[in-house]
């Protein structure tokens, strides 16, 4: 994204256009805040919040052909990012993922937007890897004391029963009585929304219950796709290549192809937790 066009191979090839191209992704009026990108979905305001950015490492990819890497990754290297998203609707303040919590960066970005942590009504979790839920707490205290925490039942069961993630168990315990689970629907189906204008969609593979969220208001839509990919320079071009972080690499690749194809066919912008600023862009068949 960053002004470049990437080619990917689905049923047809995919390209990712720079944000703002074709008038499809537009910045809303807002003060110039470092590490924040604003996007409007009908009456909803969506803010991509950068928690951290660092030099990227292609070693996270599984069985990537060296010729592909040489063609797609600049000799000067590339950047890796970790993002969260704030969605402000007329009725709710919704945070999608929280980052790790390191340095209180996400909390500070929220405050720069006039949003105290106590004002967050709902936290939606795409999955239970630390860089997505760690920011729920600091020093053993809940960062969002008034928020309901929502995640897929399948994800919760995997990381608290089948393959216990103690950090996740301990963090969610801080929100005792306010953790709600759901069963995400399938991409393209008319499943029930979790909240007005927000529909959870199953995107399994990265983790067993990984969920993406379709944001809709009127005719405007945005797909916040979590960890559907980790290295955009390569995985838009070759969605069949997965990352070492994926619990089921083959299922993750299938989900990635499905998301990119659906976004292209339906002209829906996509936002990702590991896509460098501005983190939101359009996908087109090439």
pLDDT of residue 191: 63
Show Cβ contacts of residue 108 under 8 Å, excluding neighbours closer than 6 positions.
Answer: none
Residue 181 to residue 150: CA distance in whole angstroms: 6
Extract the tokens encoding 94.
Answer: 């919704």
pLDDT in tens, 75-129: 999 999 999 999 999 999 999 999 999 999 999 999 999 999 999 999 999 999 9
- pTM assigned to the model: 0.90
Residue 194 to residue 181: CA distance in whole angstroms: 10
pLDDT in tens, 34-84: 999 999 999 999 999 999 999 999 999 999 999 999 999 999 999 999 999
pLDDT exceeds cutoff 60 at 269: yes
pLDDT of residue 75: 93
pLDDT in tens, 130-146: 999 999 999 999 999 99
Residue range 22-42: mean pLDDT, rounded: 70
Query: Which own/partner pairs from 248-256 qualify as long-range (CB within 8 Å, at least 24 positions apart)?
Result: 248/204, 248/205, 248/208, 249/62, 249/205, 250/205, 251/204, 251/205, 252/205, 252/206, 252/228, 253/205, 254/205, 255/203, 255/204, 255/205, 255/206, 255/210, 255/228, 256/205, 256/228, 256/229
Q: Phi, psi (5° rounding) for residue 230?
A: -125, -25
Q: Tell me the three state secondary structure of residue 190.
A: coil
pLDDT of residue 24: 41
Residue 157: its H or E element: helix 153-157
Contact between 129 and 207 under an 8 Å Cβ cutoff? The reply is yes
pLDDT in tens, 145-204: 999 999 999 999 999 999 999 999 999 999 999 999 999 999 887 666 789 999 999 999
pLDDT exceeds cutoff 70 at 27: no
Domain ranges of the chain: 6-285
- Strand 122-124 with 93-96, pairing: parallel
Q: Output the CATH code of domain 6-285.
A: 3.60.15.10
pLDDT in tens, 225-256: 999 999 999 999 999 999 999 999 999 999 99
pLDDT of residue 29: 53
Residue 130 to residue 153: CA distance in whole angstroms: 18
pLDDT of residue 284: 81
pLDDT exceeds cutoff 70 at 5: no
Report residue 286's pLDDT band, with 50, 70 and 90 as the boundaries. confident
pLDDT of residue 174: 98
pLDDT in tens, 54-63: 999 999 999 9
pLDDT of residue 189: 77
Residue 82 to residue 143: CA distance in whole angstroms: 19
pLDDT of residue 146: 97
């Amino acid at each position: 994204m960053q002004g470049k066009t990437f080619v990917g191979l689905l049923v047809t090839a995919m390209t990712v256009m720079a944000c703002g191209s074709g008038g499809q992704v537009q910045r809303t009026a807002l003060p110039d805040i470092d590490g924040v990108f604003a996007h409007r979905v009908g009456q909803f305001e969506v803010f991509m919040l950068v928690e951290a950015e660092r030099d990227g490492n292609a070693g996270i990819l599984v069985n990537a052909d060296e010729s592909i890497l040489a063609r797609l990754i600049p000799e000067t290297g590339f950047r890796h990012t970790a993002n969260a998203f704030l969605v402000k609707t007329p009725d709710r303040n919704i945070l999608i993922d929280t980052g790790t919590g390191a340095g209180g960066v996400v909390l500070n970005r929220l405050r720069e937007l006039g949003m105290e942590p106590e004002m967050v009504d709902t936290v939606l979790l795409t999955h239970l890897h630390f860089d997505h839920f760690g920011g729920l707490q600091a020093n053993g205290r809940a960062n969002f004391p008034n928020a309901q925490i929502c995640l897929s039942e399948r994800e919760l069961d995997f990381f608290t029963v089948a393959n216990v993630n103690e950090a996740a168990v301990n963090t969610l315990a801080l929100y005792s009585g306010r953790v709600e689970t759901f069963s995400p629907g399938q991409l393209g189906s008319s499943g029930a929304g979790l909240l007005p204008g927000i529909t959870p969609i199953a995107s399994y593979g990265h983790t067993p219950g990984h969920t993406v969220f379709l944001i809709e208001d009127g005719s405007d839509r945005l797909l916040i796709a979590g960890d559907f990919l980790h290295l955009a320079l390569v995985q838009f071009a070759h969605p069949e290549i997965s990352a070492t972080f994926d619990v089921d690499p083959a299922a993750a690749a299938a989900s990635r192809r499905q998301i990119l194809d659906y976004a292209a066919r339906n002209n829906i912008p996509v936002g990702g937790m590991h896509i460098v600023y501005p983190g939101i862009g359009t996908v087109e068949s090439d």
